[in-house]
Structures are given as structure tokens and as C-alpha cells.
Amino acid sequence: DQQVKQNSPSLSVQEGRISILNCDYTNSMFDYFLWYKKYPAEGPTFLISISSIKDKNEDGRFTVFLNKSAKHLSLHIVPSQPGDSAVYFCAAYSGGGADGLTFGKGTHLIIQP
Amino acid sequence: EAEVAQSPRYKITEKSQAVAFWCDPISGHATLYWYRQILGQGPELLVQFQDESVVDDSQLPKDRFSAERLKGVDSTLKIQPAELGDSAMYLCASSLGRSEPLHFGNGTRLTVT
């Protein structure tokens, strides 16, 4: 049972526009959320995170929004650049038990010129 | 920037053979993780270490997989015997602690024939 869901396997966005990647979760024990970016043949790279006590965190072109009541978070990239083309993973920490991250299946973002 | 080192980058082995992967985490990172990523899926936690102790190995197929981190620094993941379904990317990650971002290595791509 997928506890972290990324329902869009791929997303195509024009260069310069906003990219919005979505993530839903089912485990109410999740209290810390992260986004990772992955290029082919490389390991995932940490992008941005948000604690459950916040509803927004911003870092340059990247902003993550958290809606706890809806168990939904989103990553906004503005403006989108060609180097942003990659697979993006949403991940979450649980407030109890072991500390390993639970990942979604990923969304392949394609930035078109 | 310090990196998580993994070797080998690629490994091809025949089924029923033994295979081993090595990981050297970022210096000072007490927590080490092994993840498996099947193509089209997100990384799945296999085992988590805190120093030399296993914190979580609930998803590790213990009949064929073993992991150790004897001195609390580098770690080895072994599969014996390998099966066709073990073909995947094996990722090692380390972190300073809970709710800290995981830093991933570039992984070992395993192909079992």
C-alpha cells in the first residue's frame, strides 16, 4: 500500500513557466516532508523540505506547500529551466518508529524549450 | 561537498551467484541506509543503521540479503544467492540524524542474468 503517492508519472512544461508537482500521503504520522531530484544514473539529490508545523517553505525558484488537512503537498518551480528536467520524488518521515524515508514513485518533469 | 561513495557502479551477475556492494558514508554521519530502486518506482528502504547497530531491517529479505556496518563507518550489502528479481539500483544514503536530509550515493546498478 503506497503511503506516499505521486499520481502523475510525467509532466511536460514550457521553459519559463511554472512547474507544479503534486504529492499525496495517507499516513497521518508523517511529520516531515522532502523533495528529491534525480538525474539518470545518479543518486537522488535533496532539493527542499518542510516540517508539518509549516505550510510553506521557499528556496530560490523552489517552493513547497503543505496542506495537512488534505494530506497533500506540492512543489512549485518558477521559472522552469531546461536543467530542471529530471525525476522528482516526494518523501516523508514518520513521527514514530524507524527513521527511514518513505518515497513516492516519482514524477518525470520534462521542460520544453 | 562531501559525498557518499559507492562501489561498484555497475554489476552483472548470474542468478544463484553471490554479490556484494560497498558504501562509505559522509564523514560524521551516524545514520546509514540501504535502499533499492526498481525502474519506475521510488526507492524502498532495505536496512537502516545507527552507528554499527541495525535500527530497521523489516523490509530486508533476510533469507538471501545481509548487511553489516562493523565499525560504524562503511557498510556492505550482500545478496546470496542472487535472483532475477533482484535486478535494480541499490542506493546507499547517510544523514546526521532524524529529520535531516538523506544524502545519496550514485548507486550500484545490478543486473542478474
Q: Which grid coordinates belong to B102? A: 538523506
Chain A residues within 8 angstroms (CB to CB) of chain B = 4, 6, 9, 32, 34, 36, 41-46, 49, 51, 89, 91, 93, 97-106
In whole angstroms, what is the distance from residue A99 CA to residue A77 CA? 28
Model pLDDT, residue B1: 65
Please give the mean pLDDT across all residues of chain A: 93
pLDDT digits (tens, 9 = 90+) for B1-25: 669 999 999 999 999 999 999 999 9
> Contact B4/A99, CB-based, under 8 Å?
no
Band (pLDDT 50/70/90 cuts) for residue A61 is very high
Residue A81 CA, distance from chain mean position: 17
Band (pLDDT 50/70/90 cuts) for residue B98 is confident
**Contact residues on chain A for B98, CB-CB shorter than 8 A:** 93, 99
Q: Which grid coordinates belong to A30? A: 508523517
pLDDT digits (tens, 9 = 90+) for A70-86: 999 999 999 999 999 99
**Contact residues on chain A for B3, CB-CB shorter than 8 A:** none
Q: Specify the DSSP element, H or E, that contains B104.
A: strand B103-104
Beta-carbon contacts of residue A66 (< 8 Å; ≥ 6 apart): A33, A50, A52, A54, A55, A56, A72, A73
| Buried/exposed B41-73: b ≥16 CB within 10 Å, e otherwise | ebbebbbbbbeeeebbbebbeeeebbbebeeee
Interface test with B, best of A32, A51, A99, A105 (most B CBs within 10 A): A99
Model pLDDT, residue B72: 85
> Contact A98/B56, CB-based, under 8 Å?
yes
> Contact B56/A100, CB-based, under 8 Å?
yes
Total number of residues shown for chain A:
113
A41 pLDDT exceeds 90? no
A97 pLDDT exceeds 70? no
Phi, psi of B93 (to 5 degrees): -140, 155
Q: Which of A45, A98, A102 sits opposite B48 (nearest CB)?
A: A98
